[in-house]
Amino acid sequence: MVQPVPRVTLRSKVATHLFDAILRRELHPGDRIVEAKLARRLGVAQSTLREALQELEHKGLVTKHENRGTFVTRLTAQDIEDVYVVRLELEPLAAALAQPHWSSEQHARLADLLEEMRRASDRRDYEQLLKFDFAFHQFIWKTSGNRSLERALNAVCPPIFAGYLIFLFSGDTYDFAQDYEEHQTLMAALRKGGPEEVRRVFREMMEIFRVQDLRNLRAVPGEFREPAEVMAQLVRHS
């Protein structure tokens, strides 16, 4: 039986719109979100906006502070460390589970995503590069065949990938040649290695990513603003 086409709710559309605004840095780390003003700007009910913000909060992209309001998440070194405690265990496991089912078609899909990353890098379109990078990893998680594992990684990792744009993709700190080589290493492991070898390679690469994320976070202090300044600002959205 043909299943009905799922309807994308307005809440989800607003959540996606705000997610993209965070990636484009229209909403900066630490910005306070004033719901009434933002709802008017977006032309939606405040209740719809609140539901969309709850979606983003579950993904770690916004943070709600009691008696202070909702803010765009500002990653700290400890936040990155906390995410990688989980990612270092789960992504190598997902890759190891995916490897026995790996095919030439799946390899071609990853190669296509990596090529899209290269094209986006050439255009200096870091928003699109980020989306293809995230899709690269999501494809591996999905191919694991373990829905619980896939859901866990999709819940934990988005703030890190958003951080690549917010903190890293300034054009000065980002080295696509290195990024390309690292993703090629992951692809080669999936194509040629057994599950245990894949798990080892992915864990080593996740550790490299962790160190890079921490280093680049500290290299761009201009992205961080003092809390008093943040509290005085209203979110801007065009």
- How are strands ordered across the β-sheet holding 32-33? 32-33, 69-72, 62-65
pLDDT of residue 63: 86
Q: What angle do CA 125, 105, 114 make, to 5 degrees?
A: 20
Q: Is the pLDDT of residue 170 over 60?
A: no
Query: Which residue, among 95, 88, 193, 104, has the nearest Cα to 146 in the 3D structure?
Result: 95
Determine which of 17-21, 160-164, 192-196, 222-226 has the lowest per-residue pLDDT on average. 222-226
* Cβ pair 121, 163 in contact under 8 A: no
pLDDT of residue 208: 95
Cα distance from N-terminal residue to C-terminal residue, the chain:
43
Name the architecture of domain 10-75+223-232. Answer: Orthogonal Bundle (1.10)
Estimate the crossing angle of helix 104-123 against helix 176-192, to 10 degrees: 180
SS (H, E, C) 82-125: HHHHHHHHHHHHHHHHHHHHCCHHHHHHHHHHHHHHHHHHHHCC
Q: Which residues contact 188 (CB under 8 A, 6 or more apart)?
A: none
For 9-66, write each residue's pLDDT tens digit: 888 899 988 988 887 778 888 889 999 999 999 999 999 999 999 988 887 788 888 8
Domain ranges of the chain: 10-75+223-232, 77-221
Top CATH class of 77-221 equals mainly alpha
Q: Is the pLDDT of residue 108 over 50?
A: yes
DSSP per residue over 180-227, as a string?
HHHHHHHHHHHHHS-HHHHHHHHHHHHHHHHHHHHHHHHH-GGG---H
Q: Is the pLDDT of residue 145 over 60?
A: yes
SS (H, E, C) 117-149: HHHHHHHCCHHHHHHHHHHHHHHHHHHCCCHHH
d(CA 63, CA 187): 34
Mean pLDDT over 191-212 rounds to: 95
d(CA 236, CA 27): 7
d(CA 136, CA 96): 16
